[in-house]
Amino acid sequence: MFAFSHIARYAPSNKPLSYIPIKHFKYKNNYEHLLKQFFIKKISMKPLAERMRPTSLNDYIGQQHLVGQGGVLRQMIDSHHISSFILWGPPGVGKTTLAKIIAHQLDTPFYTLSAVNSGVKEVREVIDKAKSNRFFAEQSPILFIDEIHRFSKSQQDSLLAAVETGAITLIGATTENPSFEVIRPLLSRCQVYVLESLGKDDLLQLLHRAITQDEELKQRDIKIKETDALLRYSGGDARKLLGIIDLVTSAIPTDPLVIDNDTIIKHLQQNPMAYDKEGEMHYDIISAFIKSIRGSDPDAALYWLARMIEGGEDPKFIARRLVISASEDIGLANPNALLLANAAFDAVAKIGWPEGRIPLAEATVYLATSAKSNSAYMGINNALQLVKRTGNLPVPLHIRNAPTKLMADLGYHDGYLYPHDYPGNFTPQQYMPGEIKDCVLWQPCNNPQENKSRDRMNAYWKNKPRT
């Protein structure tokens, strides 16, 4: 029976229970209303994201390539047999929820471990418990490990035998590339499924469901007028979107509540960008930045630069990448690019944030709009491959130094031709080891600067034409 003390806890604050006329408790409707309010209060203690966590695939939003009709995970669930796999995707896209739904629909024992606070001992204890509780079940117990990329090598090793023998079905969740973070023996025993950030339609569907189906929010008069800011701040993260709605609805308890862009911006103040300086996104964004410069797209390059700045990236890291890009992608087509990139690096080191964004932007636009050449980059790569293939070939005697009489007697420096003694400061002679003397490692790109160099080299080295 429901205790009156519980009701008293949620009685009007200005009147103790003794002041509430007893007649209110004599009528079924009033009593049911108080019960209902009590349970709503209990429910509201949980975050909205937790209250809205689906329990079946029919309620699951997003990842239709995996759980939609014909999706690989749906087929596995429908067949009542799943194998070990790893879910890889950004935060808030439903990795944990999906694992729980699978266990629920298969009616399978479900064990969880957190990579943050579990050691090898805890892993083995859970595996032993799963083995003892399996009996004659058709499907192995499921062991779900969140943030599996945080597991050490020894922790991951402790899973191998159980996964190999089918004692457990492992479901791992990670925000980091499993290729780098999960040991190869374990990775070879698991399929990897990629989860994507939720799209606009998915987020709007989730928003509508929250305000119409949540036990607390559906009691309120909430109207959604604008969603641009809400979608922008959530960034494809369902958990973040629901967290924002939870914050706004808690901060504004009065009805009607109109949610628009101004309301969202007012309560969030700022949008901390999703950016992990040690994680996958760090490498994805710097890759997009460099590729935008290489592809001569200054707008995209500035966008990715802004993403890194807002995410709190180290400005020196950005500047170093600009220096590399100036050498690798602009190179001999515009040698001034390297000078400007180095100047930007020095400027950033001197002035820091926020003014450091200006020389970084200047260098970014200059590099992106500059003529491109990777001839020097390809040339050194060709040379390194040749060195690895041919080993330590001897330096020709005539281009060796002869600082001692013994070296001179052995022929060191003998026959060397000093180029400045000849017209045009050039005379042909052999500089490469004899075994590879005809190798051509540098091929110029087609731009005005290197076309001049190509013509000059072809005139000098007629036996080694550069196309």
What is the reported pLDDT for 273?
52
Tally of CA atoms within 13 A in the half-sphere of 451 that contains its CB: 4
What is the reported pLDDT for 216?
87
Q: What are phi and psi of 309, to 5 degrees?
A: -65, -50
Ordered per-residue pLDDT tens for the chain, 467 residues? 344 334 444 444 444 443 344 444 444 455 455 445 544 444 456 888 888 888 888 888 888 888 888 888 888 888 888 889 999 888 888 888 998 888 888 888 888 887 667 677 778 888 888 777 665 556 788 888 888 888 888 888 888 888 888 888 899 998 888 887 888 888 888 889 989 888 889 999 999 999 998 888 888 888 999 888 888 888 788 888 898 888 888 888 888 889 888 888 888 765 545 545 455 566 778 888 999 899 888 888 898 898 888 877 888 889 999 999 999 999 888 889 999 999 999 998 888 888 888 999 999 999 999 889 888 888 888 888 888 888 888 888 887 887 787 878 788 888 888 888 888 888 888 888 888 888 888 888 888 888 888 888 888 888 888 87
DSSP per residue over 36-63, as a string?
A: HHHHHHHHHTS-HHHHT--SSGGG--S-
Cβ contact 94:60 at 8 Å: yes
DSSP per residue over 171-196, as a string?
A: EEEESS-HHHHS-HHHHTTSEEEE--
d(CA 404, CA 164): 68
Gyration radius from the chain CA atoms: 33
Cβ contact 7:41 at 8 Å: no
d(CA 273, CA 290): 20
Conformation bin of residue 147: beta by default, left when phi > 0, alpha when psi is -120 to 50: left
Please count the other Cβ atoms lying within 10 Å of the Cβ belonging to residue 467.
7
What is the reported pLDDT for 11?
43
Global pTM exceeds 0.75: no
CB burial of 361-391 (b: ≥16 within 10 Å; e: otherwise) equals bebbbbbbebbbbbbbebbeeeeeeeeeeee
What is the reported pLDDT for 389?
85
Which residue from 191, 185, 156 is spatially nearest to 171, judged by alpha carbons? 191
Q: Is 223 exposed, middle or buried (0-12, 13-18, 19+ CB in 10 A)?
A: exposed
Cβ contact 360:423 at 8 Å: no
Contacts of 251 by beta carbon, 8 Å cutoff, 6+ apart: 267
Specify which residues 87 forms β-bridges with: 173, 193
Distances (CA, A) of 345 to 348, 358, 364, 374, 378: 5, 11, 12, 21, 25
Domain map of the chain by residue range?
A: 4-45, 63-194, 200-268, 280-369, 390-460
Amino acid at 185: P
Amino acid at 456: R
Which residue from 354, 294, 264, 284 is spatially nearest to 88, judged by alpha carbons? 284
Question: What does the chain come to in residues?
Answer: 467
Q: Which CATH topology does 63-194 take?
A: Rossmann fold (3.40.50)
Please count the other Cβ atoms lying within 10 Å of the Cβ belonging to residue 88.
23
d(CA 219, CA 11): 18
At the second CATH level, the architecture of 200-268 is: Orthogonal Bundle (1.10)
Cβ contact 321:344 at 8 Å: no
User: Was domain 280-369 assigned CATH 1.20.272.10?
Assistant: yes
Please count the other Cβ atoms lying within 10 Å of the Cβ belonging to residue 136.
4
Distances (CA, A) of 301 to 193, 242, 273, 306, 365: 30, 32, 17, 9, 8
Contacts of 355 by beta carbon, 8 Å cutoff, 6+ apart: none
d(CA 64, CA 69): 8
Residue 249 token pair: 């609805």
Cβ contact 77:105 at 8 Å: yes
**Cα-to-chain-centroid distance, residue 193:** 15
What is the reported pLDDT for 87?
92
Cβ contact 428:461 at 8 Å: yes
Residue 418 token pair: 């000093």
The answer to whether the 200-268 and 280-369 domains have the same CATH topology is no
Please count the other Cβ atoms lying within 10 Å of the Cβ belonging to residue 32.
10
Distances (CA, A) of 173 to 146, 184, 195: 5, 16, 10
What is the reported pLDDT for 138?
61
